[in-house]
Structure 1
Amino acid sequence: MFHRKSPSTGPGSPTVHGFHDKATGSVQYVAVDEATRTCALIDVVQDFDPKNAATGFESAGEILAFVEREGLEVAWVLDTHPHADHLMASAWLAGRTGAPNAIGAKVADIAALWRDYYNLPEAFDVKRDFTRLFADGETFRLGEMDVRVMLSPGHTLGSITYVMGDAAFVHDTFMHVDVGTSRADFPGGTAADLWDSLQAILALPDETRLFIGHDYPPVDDREDPAWEATVAAHRAGNPHLAGKSREEYIALRQERDATLPLPERMLHALQVNLRGGRLPEPEADGHSYFKIPANRF
């Protein structure tokens, strides 16, 4: 996996390691409190081959091997939202490390939407499958650092941002500063909500490092994936936001989203991610089966 390190800028500032999953364009993070050498794993991917519906944890295992080499202790397994483009490794990582796994509290509302889409009225017990469900404004500790949770809807209705010192993990809100912003056309998402979330993130201090959820190079003359830029850089140079009004942004985002296909893994991913990364319960033959709605999207 392509790896970049963003060093701590001092006490209360995490060192951030980013790992790019080429298959999905996803960026996975290890955020480290240098004072205690504890870390949080954020948005780690479970391997999935859509051609034969095969799952695995080789990539997540590479991140755990990195954590072990660095002498780190995993304190949290965090996700920002139930992803549509990859399967999450949350439950597997929690089982391997003993760390609590967490996501935003409004994942319960997302689960309610998808029970209908899958016609699974009893599915998705999020209180069972996640140790913590964070509310907007809630705080928790990573080593000696306070971490604040910001509700950041738009891409989904329950997406959250983790703010720790001068770092913010902003998931599928911003794309990289030379690209723009993320789509807002999934069930429960809206461009208007996304604009409001983007503006709330841009109200953080100028020097705050924003770590995004995805990058899909090449972009113009940039071949390597990139995922870090400051609030000041996004405010000045993000092509979807700089000089745009709220109405202009909403029109731009909606026009762009109307051209985008459904993510290849979406209908598989949601029924796993709303179980904390667990496959559906095995049936009588011992195998798990995906349920895919026809003609719903």
Structure 2
Amino acid sequence: MQPHVSAFFDEQTNTISYVVKDPGGSACAVIDSVLDFDYASGRTDTRSADAIIAHVKNEGLKVEWLLETHVHADHLSAAPYIQERVGGKIGIGDQITTVQDTFGKVFNEGTEFQRDGSQFDQLFVEGDSFAVGQLRGDVMHTPGHTPACLTYVLGDTAFVGDTLFMPDFGTARCDFPGGSSEMLYRSIQKILSLPDETRIFVGHDYKAPGREEYAWETTVAEQKARNVHVGGGKDCESFVAMRDARDAKLPMPKLIIPSLQINMRAGKMPPADEHGDVMLKVPLNKL
């Protein structure tokens, strides 16, 4: 089946969110939504999420799933906001518990923060399947960028999150806690074992040098032939050496501190204090 895919690009974070529709009906899934956030003022905004909601309503769609490919470190999830307005179950990989345990300690969350993934409606494991109307979705565990990364395969499409970028930009970083360049290489090979004609939709685009337009759709065949980090049959040892050296020079994403605290809670804010105010923590010398 060929699902209908609508893309929503957020230039502030270079994130692409997707609405994936059953070609034979009105059911859809929303993948990797964005809650806008101004770090300087500490203010959230819902314009990106509202654009998705407006699309859903205008097209007469029924949201069945709000899927996260992983706990994002560069933008806040709008899944709970969208769920409250148009429904859907929030899903992520079951290794979210590893991420929650790691960053629960980094942010000194204490015993009140549950590290069992219970903030999400569904925890997926490798080989799970789910339905979007008559459209079947299959789950691939593709860790490396983070331990909990998933690829969602729906019909002839694969939504790879941050695992792969466009062929001229390469692959995801692996230097976050629990990341592994060797594991990422194996995960990418799993994705590239899908049929050559499989459409790949990436989670971010940063316009590689020489390219004027943002892009987010490619194919397995294009990635195998042209990806600057893994294409042309590059071996694991070469990839790991390149990726580790590159990652050592990368700065932390500018929204990593708010993103992790919120996204490991399924996009929900930390508990308010006795005055009803929500606060985020800034751990010093931890990341």
Contact persistence 1:180–1:238 (CA under 8 A): yes
What residue number does 2:67 align with? 78
Give the Å deviation of 1:98.
Answer: 2.2
The correspondence of residues 181-200 of structure 1 with structure 2, limited to 5 A, is 181-200=171-190
What residue number does 2:226 align with? 237
- Where 2:118 maps in the other structure, the secondary structure is helix
Q: In 1, distance between residues paired with 2:270 and 2:110?
A: 14
What residue number does 1:92 align with? 81
Give the Å deviation of 1:121.
Answer: 2.8
Cα-Cα RMSD:
1.1
Contact persistence 2:101–2:115 (CA under 8 A): no
Give the Å deviation of 1:19.
Answer: 1.0
What residue number does 2:18 align with? 29
What residue number does 1:147 align with? 137
Cα displacement string for residues 205-260 of structure 1 (whole angstroms, at most 9, x for unaligned residues): 0000011110012x233222101110000000111012311100000000111110
Give the Å deviation of 1:73.
Answer: 1.3
Q: In 2, distance between residues paired with 1:91 and 1:128?
A: 14
Report the AA paired with residue 74 of structure 1: V
Q: Which moved further from structure 2: 185-194 or 93-102?
A: 93-102
Task: List structure 1 runs of 4+ shifted beyond 2 angstroms.
Answer: 124-128
* Partner of residue 174 from structure 1, selected from 142, 152, 164: 164
* Partner of residue 60 from structure 1, selected from 44, 49, 61: 49
What residue number does 1:4 align with? none
**Counterpart check, 1:216 vs 2:206:** yes
Report the AA paired with residue 224 of structure 1: E
Q: TM-score, with normalisation over the residues of structure 1? A: 0.94
**Counterpart check, 1:204 vs 2:194:** yes
Report the AA paired with residue 135 of structure 1: V
Taking only the aligned residue pairs, the percentage that are identical comes to 42
What residue number does 2:250 align with? 260
- Where 1:88 maps in the other structure, the secondary structure is coil
What residue number does 1:161 align with? 151
Contact persistence 1:126–1:276 (CA under 8 A): no
Q: In 1, distance between residues paired with 2:74 and 2:3?
A: 27
Contact persistence 2:224–2:230 (CA under 8 A): yes
Give the Å deviation of 1:125.
Answer: 4.8
Q: In 2, distance between residues paired with 1:91 and 1:148?
A: 23
Cα displacement string for residues 122-163 of structure 1 (whole angstroms, at most 9, x for unaligned residues): 224554321111111100111101100000000001100100
**Counterpart check, 1:292 vs 2:282:** yes
**Counterpart check, 1:138 vs 2:131:** no
- Where 1:287 maps in the other structure, the secondary structure is coil
What residue number does 1:14 align with? 3
Give the Å deviation of 1:267.
Answer: 1.0
Report the AA paired with residue 94 of structure 2: A
**Counterpart check, 1:270 vs 2:260:** yes
Q: In 2, distance between residues paired with 1:65 and 1:271?
A: 28
Q: In 1, distance between residues paired with 2:285 and 2:89?
A: 37
Q: In 2, distance between residues paired with 1:152 and 1:233?
A: 19
Q: In 1, distance between residues paired with 2:57 and 2:163?
A: 31
Report the AA paired with residue 245 of structure 1: D
Matched residue count:
285
Q: In 2, distance between residues paired with 1:176 and 1:124?
A: 36
Q: TM-score, with normalisation over the residues of structure 2? A: 0.97
- Where 1:292 maps in the other structure, the secondary structure is coil
Contact persistence 2:270–2:278 (CA under 8 A): yes
Q: In 1, distance between residues paired with 2:196 and 2:118?
A: 39
Give the Å deviation of 1:169.
Answer: 0.3
Report the AA paired with residue 57 of structure 1: T
Q: In 1, distance between residues paired with 2:213 and 2:231?
A: 24
Q: In 2, distance between residues paired with 1:19 and 1:124?
A: 32
What residue number does 1:120 align with? 109
Q: In 2, distance between residues paired with 1:147 and 1:128?
A: 22
* Partner of residue 43 from structure 1, selected from 32, 36, 43: 32
What residue number does 2:241 align with? 251
Report the AA paired with residue 221 of structure 1: G
What residue number does 1:7 align with? none
Report the AA paired with residue 25 of structure 1: N
Q: In 1, distance between residues paired with 2:98 and 2:239?
A: 26
